[in-house]
Amino acid sequence: MGRSVLGAGRRRQGARLRVPVVPAPEPCAWRPTGTTATGVRTPSRPGAGRRSVAAVTHVDVTRPPSRGGSGMRRALRDHLGSRDVARVVYGAIIGLAFVVALGQHPPSAVQAVGGIVATAIAVALAEVYSEYVGEEARERRRVGHKEVRLYLEDAAAVAFGAGFPAVFFVASAIGLFDIDLAFKLAKWTGLGLICAYGFAAARLAGLGLGRALMHMAAVGAVGVALIVVKALLH
């Protein structure tokens, strides 16, 4: 009987020594807003969550993105960033060379218009044909319709640059000014067009004003050389 009483006393002492251990929350553990470390939800300020969500998700979709500048400026930027620039400059150099050559023995205004337009068309067709043949020889395949359309667009830019001086001879033919002024305008505007493209390209490439002017002078030196040679041989 003494042993049973002693055993019962030991069991009661062990039972008193058992203390449930509650794991402590990690100090840096993330928990949702409005809850305690044990996961019990706490009351929050009414409307706070709704205002924060609205502040994040509110987007004004009624206003289109602003690109800045007028439509003409955007068109100019698009043109300067296209393949047409190289073709127009190429055509302008050819047109300037042809006008300078015509000045050796000046024709009538109508003949000058015909010669300039014919030269522009011939150069454009030569551009298309050379690109077509070169593509077939290089890629060993037939050229598709999309590529031919691209060649025609490039050729149109070349024809524009080469045929632009014809405008002044058309004006001379209808009596706005004489043929001598038409030649002067055709030469110097062609040179100005070449220089303007050179300057714009340099500025778009990030060059400063001084270096852009030097770049413009280097590009325009071709046209200046043609005009100077013509003046020396006249």
pLDDT tens profile 125-135: 998 999 889 88
Counting every residue written for the chain, the total comes to 234
The SS3 call for residue 116 is: helix
Closest CA to 87 of 186, 188, 162, 198: 162
* pLDDT value at residue 216: 86
Q: How confident is the model at residue 206 (pLDDT cuts 50, 70, 90)?
A: confident
Distance CA 7, CA 119 (A): 123
Mean pLDDT calculated for residue range 33-54: 47
> Which residues is 35 bridged to in the sheet?
41
* pLDDT value at residue 176: 92
Record the tokens describing residue 21, joined without a space.
């251990």
The CA distances from residue 42 to 30, 37, 38, 39, in Å, are 15, 11, 11, 9
Q: How confident is the model at residue 197 (pLDDT cuts 50, 70, 90)?
A: confident
Among 75-79, 110-114, 125-129, the least confident range:
75-79
Q: Give percent of the chain above pLDDT 70.
A: 64
Question: Which H helix or E strand runs over 196?
Answer: helix 179-204
Mean pLDDT of the residues in the chain: 74
Mean pLDDT calculated for residue range 156-163: 92
Domain residue ranges in the chain: 80-233
